């Protein structure tokens, strides 16, 4: 079983919303800087200052206000980032690198039994598929990369279905098929809410033939043969 590439804190929930649009913008800038550097390891503090300059933040404090956490916490929760401490003889520095995003397992199974697991971050590649067998629910490959917590995936899926449900309710004309569809949609929305509330243990199955999908914390992930 692969080990977690970062020191994942199992006892606290980060205040960083990795699914937020501005945080996504910072992630994209971080990755772009790493690619342009042509270096394996980069020092975190200078890169945080460079991100501030590139994205228009006045200083690191303003950047950390935007991500609702420290820059180190931000790096630690990203599935594609590995960090380490380096002693250059004078002081200890935090270094990071973007790890290979194509060498991950093609199928991963995670049993969700504790609320803390909902804050585990999943990088879903454009070809990644997420399934929840207990609800017969699937988040299909949609050609877009996404980085969010498990809780975030559940919440956004429920919101999308809620919008669809309201639209269908406004358009329905007592058609039996429509009534049945609405009942099924409501059942799934309620089911996703139960998963977020962890009313029972449930299973998250992630499949990706490209091997580009991974969790930040891989310690409890089962890799089927």
Average pLDDT on 171-177 reads 68
Is pLDDT above 80 for 9?
no
| CA–CA separation, 145 and 19 (whole Å) | 11
By the 8 A CB rule, do 101 and 170 touch?
Answer: no
Q: Which residues of 184-206 are buried (b: 16+ CB within 10 A; e: fewer)?
A: ebeebbebbeebeeeeeebebbb
Report CA dihedral (211, 214, 218, 221) to the nearest 10 degrees: -70
Q: What does the pLDDT average to over 9-19?
A: 64
The more confident residue out of 175 and 96 is 96
pLDDT of residue 110: 98
Is the distance from CB of 208 to CB of 102 less than 8 angstroms? no
What is the rounded distance in angstroms from the CA atom of residue 41 to the CA atom of residue 207? 29
Taking a C-beta distance cutoff of 8 angstroms, is the pair 121, 130 a contact?
A: no
Q: Which spans in the chain are helix H?
A: 21-37, 44-55, 60-67, 71-77, 150-171, 176-196
Distances in Å between the Cα of 52 and the Cα atoms of 18, 26, 204 are 18, 9, 36
Domain ranges of the chain: 21-98, 107-215
pTM: 0.84
Q: In the predicted model, what is the mean pLDDT of residues 145-152?
A: 96
Using only C-alpha atoms, the chain has a radius of gyration, in whole angstroms, of 20
Q: In the CATH scheme, what architecture does the domain 107-215 have?
A: Sandwich (2.60)
* Residue 115 exposure: Cα atoms within 13 Å on the Cβ side: 8
pLDDT per residue as tens digits for the range 69-83: 999 999 999 999 999
């Amino acid at each position: 079983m692969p080990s977690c590439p970062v020191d994942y804190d199992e006892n606290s929930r980060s205040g960083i919303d990795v699914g937020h649009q501005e945080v996504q913008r910072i992630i994209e800038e971080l990755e772009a800087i790493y690619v342009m550097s042509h270096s394996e390891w980069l020092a975190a503090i200078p890169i945080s200052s460079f991100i501030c300059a590139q994205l228009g933040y006045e200083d690191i404090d303003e950047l950390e206000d935007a991500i609702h956490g420290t820059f180190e916490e931000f790096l630690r929760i990203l599935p594609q980032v590995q960090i380490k401490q380096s002693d250059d003889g004078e002081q200890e520095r935090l270094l990071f690198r973007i790890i290979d995003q194509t060498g991950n397992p093609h199928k991963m199974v995670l049993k969700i039994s504790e609320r803390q697991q909902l804050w585990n971050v999943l990088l879903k590649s454009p070809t990644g598929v997420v399934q929840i067998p207990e609800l017969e629910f699937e988040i299909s490959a949609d050609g877009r990369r996404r980085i969010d917590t498990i809780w975030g995936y559940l919440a956004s899926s429920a919101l999308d279905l809620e919008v669809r449900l309201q639209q269908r309710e406004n358009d329905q004309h007592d058609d039996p098929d429509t009534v049945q569809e609405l009942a099924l949609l409501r059942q799934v929305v309620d089911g996703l809410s139960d998963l977020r509330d962890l009313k029972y243990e449930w299973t998250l199955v992630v499949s990706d033939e490209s091997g580009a999908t991974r969790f930040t914390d891989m310690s409890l992930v089962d890799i089927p043969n």
